[in-house]
Amino acid sequence: MNFSPYKPSPDEDRNNRLREERQKQKQPKGKAKQTDTSPYSSYQSGKPNYPGPSPSSLEEGLFSETDNLGGSRGPPTGTLRVNKYETSLPIRVDIEAALAYVLGPVTGLLFLVLERQNDYVRFHAWQSSMVFLALMCAHFVLMFISNFLSWTLFIFDIGLLVWLTYRAYLDGASLERYEFPYFGPIASEYVDSE
């Protein structure tokens, strides 16, 4: 029985196991085993793992162990390895995208200025800014027409804010964009053209 207070995480065990398998494949049978001093970290730490592909990249099939022509391992020469979960701020992607909705267009615009690297977060920042800015204009108009309609729209705003925050956080693992009607496709177009 192991009664130690610390147990390594499953990711750490998997990374160590994959690293050892790669070392065994690299080394000729006559040489002694060398240890790898560059530990892999999760995408949430914000540290890029250079020069070779990460174990998750190998598992996803993004890079094969060898090229079809018998070339070197890893990304092709002259290309930049992009981590789609990496952000400019030290916050996880899903949390950053959810925070873009918290104060409506204020946090949306804030994340548009601060986040320059991640398209997923920028999409949600654009969508948040456009949706809630349009709703603020509708509030302004309804404020003069009917108090009841203004409060009804306010309750709808709160529900929509909670729903979009939840969807941004939930879809952060797959980076699937939840597009709100009319504003979502416009936000996607803006992000894709940047």
**110 and 171 housed in the same domain:** yes
88 in a domain, yes or no? no
3 in a domain, yes or no? no
**72 and 156 housed in the same domain:** no
Distance CA 194, CA 191 (A): 5
**68 and 118 housed in the same domain:** no
Distance CA 179, CA 44 (A): 24
E runs forming strands in 35-157? none
pLDDT reading at 176 higher than 70: yes
- 105-164 confidence digits (pLDDT tens): 899 899 889 888 888 888 999 999 999 999 999 999 998 998 899 999 999 999 999 999
Domain termination site, one of 53, 83, 113: 83
**39 and 127 housed in the same domain:** no
Specify the DSSP element, H or E, that contains 128.
helix 119-145
Taking CB atoms within 8 Å and a gap of at least 24, the contacts of 169-174 are 169/94, 169/95, 169/97, 169/98, 170/94, 171/94, 171/97, 172/92, 172/93, 172/94, 172/95, 172/97, 172/98, 172/120, 173/94
**130 and 181 housed in the same domain:** yes
Q: What's the 3-state SS for 12-27?
A: HHHHHHHHHHHHHHHC
**161 and 111 housed in the same domain:** yes
**180 and 102 housed in the same domain:** yes
Q: Across residues 161-174, what is the average pLDDT?
A: 90
Domain termination site, one of 48, 64, 83: 83
Tally the domains of the chain.
2
**55 and 77 housed in the same domain:** yes
Domain termination site, one of 39, 55, 83: 83
Q: What residue numbers bound the domain in which 36 lies?
A: 8-83
Maximum alpha-carbon separation in the chain: 85
Lowest model confidence (mean pLDDT) among 38-47, 78-87, 117-126, 141-150: 38-47
